[in-house]
Amino acid sequence: MQNYKELSLINPTPEHAMLRETLQSFVKTEVEPQAHQSDREEKFNLSLFKKAAELGILGITVPEEFGGAGLDATAAVIVHEELSASDPGFCLAYLAHSMLIVNNLAVNGSNEQKKKYLPGLCSGELIGSMAMSEPAVGTDVLGMQTTAVKKGDHYILNGRKMWITNGTIDDNNTPCDLILVYAKTGENKGRPLISTFIVEKSFKGFSVGQKIKDKLGMRGSNTAELVFENCEVPVTHLMGQEGDSLLHMMRNLEIERVTLAAMSLGIARRSLEIMNKYCTEREAFGKSLNHFGQIQKMISESYAEFKACRAYVYDVARVLKLDHEGQRADSDGVKLVTTTMAKNVADRAIQALGGYGYVGEYVVERLWRDSKLLEIGGGTLEAHQKNITRDLSKNPELIRQ
């Protein structure tokens, strides 16, 4: 464990170092023992989630007045790196709750909405999710088909959402308690107006369609289809004004993408540790595996790529502001390079371990499977490439900054 006096980019303050130490202890005693079983059974570990709540990390970026920890983006990155070094699936469920709804609500909700929901979300009494993707719509947000029509003191919500992490919390299709739902509420000059609604699980017309099973990875988080059939949502549950969703998305996408990149750091670090240990201890032809050039290439390149990406992620987190947009090129950038780096490092670890890498006991096969989702969820690699290129064409000075 790093001495608090030896602070660095990844532990810039004693508080960050203490948080990392706390998370590493929690991961060792609580997360790691259940990771393999949760993956194999494709189950979200609700009791573990409640234990995470006791650490005070469910509202890691939420102001203390609303029950949160009041910490910064670097703290959020630390939590996601440490959890993902053991169980990326559980960490994804944590991210969907703490970043996609809790941080989103803390930044974009009204004071009344924050007071009503954030304390329960931060304590773990409530579990939340965010619903944007649809069966036929992913990256093309403006193409979504879910609609909300105002009638008196309610909006009538109709549509289906797909691939929703935490959409259900068990095998009985029990929905999570609270969902941020994006829906069309009209048009302005031919452009769709997307609005954000806070939907409680008890609202009439809301149900869980199906739990999505047999995923390649991230099996420790539950994914579901959500159905809204004339769902009645009080007007007080509109977040902001009609048409504000794009602003909400932009404010929240940066921390989402940086924490997804942090998940990749955890996957890469654990894979590298396993590969290094195995190749140091295992022998072939009378010498340790790390004596051979092919293995040296795998280990050395993995180490250098991991360290480079780690520096990039923590540097972006250091300057990221939670309440407004400003770092999109780099929040896209860290996710673009770090997610693929993690997949490649996990792949090399499997290759270096040979047959042992191909079975669950040695963990790297699960990390490899989990890593792929990070190249898709929260923005595809192709979306990041488009965004970065567009931003650089508009502001070439970003290259020098």
Residues belonging to the active site: 256
How far the first Cα of the chain sits from its last, in Å, is 33
Cα–Cα distance measured from residue 148 to residue 154, given in angstroms and rounded to the nearest whole number? 9
> Of 156, 19, 5, nearest to 77 (Cα)?
19
- CA atoms of 189 and 187, how far apart (whole Å): 6
**Encoding tokens for residue 237?**
């549950």
Rounded Cα gap, residues 143 and 261, in angstroms? 26
Distance CA 294, CA 287 (A): 14
Residue type, 330: D
- Where would I find the beta strands (DSSP E) of 59-213? 128-131, 147-151, 154-165, 178-188, 191-200, 206-211
Look up residue 309 and give its two tokens.
């990406």
CB–CB of 121/273 below 8 Å? no
CA diameter of the chain: 80
All residues at 6 or more sequence positions from 249 whose CB lies less than 8 Å from its CB, including other chains: 132, 141, 182
Burial of 216 (0-12, 13-18, 19+ CB in 10 A): exposed
CB 341 within 8 A of CB 17: no
**DSSP code of 356?**
G
Residue 25 backbone class (left: φ over 0; alpha: ψ -120 to 50; beta: rest): alpha
Specify the DSSP class assigned to residue 29: I
Structure tokens at 110: 């009204």
- Whole-angstrom distance, CA of residue 240 vs CA of residue 238: 6
Closest CA to 41 of 277, 286, 214, 243: 214
